Structure 1
């Protein structure tokens, strides 16, 4: 029996090429939207300008800080709820937060790429406490766009497109279980 393999082939947006050292969630979301033929008129730079910013630096309320620089006391990220509210201006999204990895793979099997919150280079989370809660300072988001029996495929705004051991992906994803599927 042949092993199942699905690869959607989403584009890759390199956030550093745009000077967006902290723009991974926006890049991952836009790759998913573009895959679904949404927001095609927007470049990554234009898309970043529409991202909601939370001046207090709380990623649960908007992007904390600036995607273009690191600022002391800010947590430069945008978490699921504000990402959903923003992204729904451009396409249909589903909150998969709390979902087991199998749910993410089920969405990819339906040709719906999934923005997943992981860590930079899939390294162990480096946890720190902020006024809004405990979060990994090496927070990162990638677009899950493929899987097989043993591996997953991501379009990573820092490291490009690649296959990764499912076990490693799931270990990092399961530390927070934050994800958003782009369904149309």
Structure 2
């Protein structure tokens, strides 16, 4: 089953660090929410963390790449932001079987993985330890041992569950759009 969410390319839009908002907007649009907002307008409404802490909001500017900053937004503030437009819940801790069940319910899921689904690499930041190769994609389909992702960097494609888990299982972070 495949939902067929749109794909927003963050790099085409000049946002090297805009994966979480792109993945979220793809899912919201699929749910017919935030329909009047394009990616740029959506970013203008994004909660920014004054202390650059992604646990409080977006830690910087998605158009910038500043050494020592972690330009991202983590699940809790992303969920709060998503709930401005529709219904979302932080399902961090869910395993792949649970994610597949959510997809069966026709709920796209923003999942935190790594760029290119590579091996997770951690580093220390002012707010604590985090994956330096952090990335977020929208899960919008499943077929046997394949998951369909709409990736804000690499487009839409099918991915083996085992490869997805290599990156996802480092944190088990996800936000389901209800």
The TM-score, its normalising length taken from structure 2, stands at 0.98
Q: What SS does the corresponding residue of 1:172 show, helix, strand or coil? A: helix
| Deviations 1:96-133 (CA, angstroms, capped at 9, x unpaired) | 10111111111111110000000001011111011222
1:10-49 aligned within 5 A: 10-49=5-44
Moved over 6 A (4+): none
Between 130-139 and 39-48, the greater mean CA deviation after superposition: 130-139
Deviation (angstroms), 1:90: 0.4
| Deviations 1:121-147 (CA, angstroms, capped at 9, x unpaired) | 101111101122211111000000011
> Contact 2:90/2:176 (CA < 8 Å) preserved in 1?
yes
For 1:3, the equivalent position in structure 2 comes to none
> Contact 2:2/2:141 (CA < 8 Å) preserved in 1?
yes
Give the unaligned 5+ runs of structure 1: 1-5
1:54-73 aligned within 5 A: 54-73=49-68
> Contact 2:118/2:166 (CA < 8 Å) preserved in 1?
no
| Equivalent-residue separation in structure 1 for 2:87 and 2:34 (angstroms) | 12
Give the unaligned 5+ runs of structure 2: none
The TM-score, its normalising length taken from structure 1, stands at 0.95
| Equivalent-residue separation in structure 1 for 2:91 and 2:137 (angstroms) | 14
For 2:104, the equivalent position in structure 1 comes to 109
The number of residue pairs the alignment matches comes to 178
Q: 2:154 aligns with which of 155, 159, 181?
A: 159
> Contact 2:124/2:130 (CA < 8 Å) preserved in 1?
yes
Matched, 1:144 2:142: no
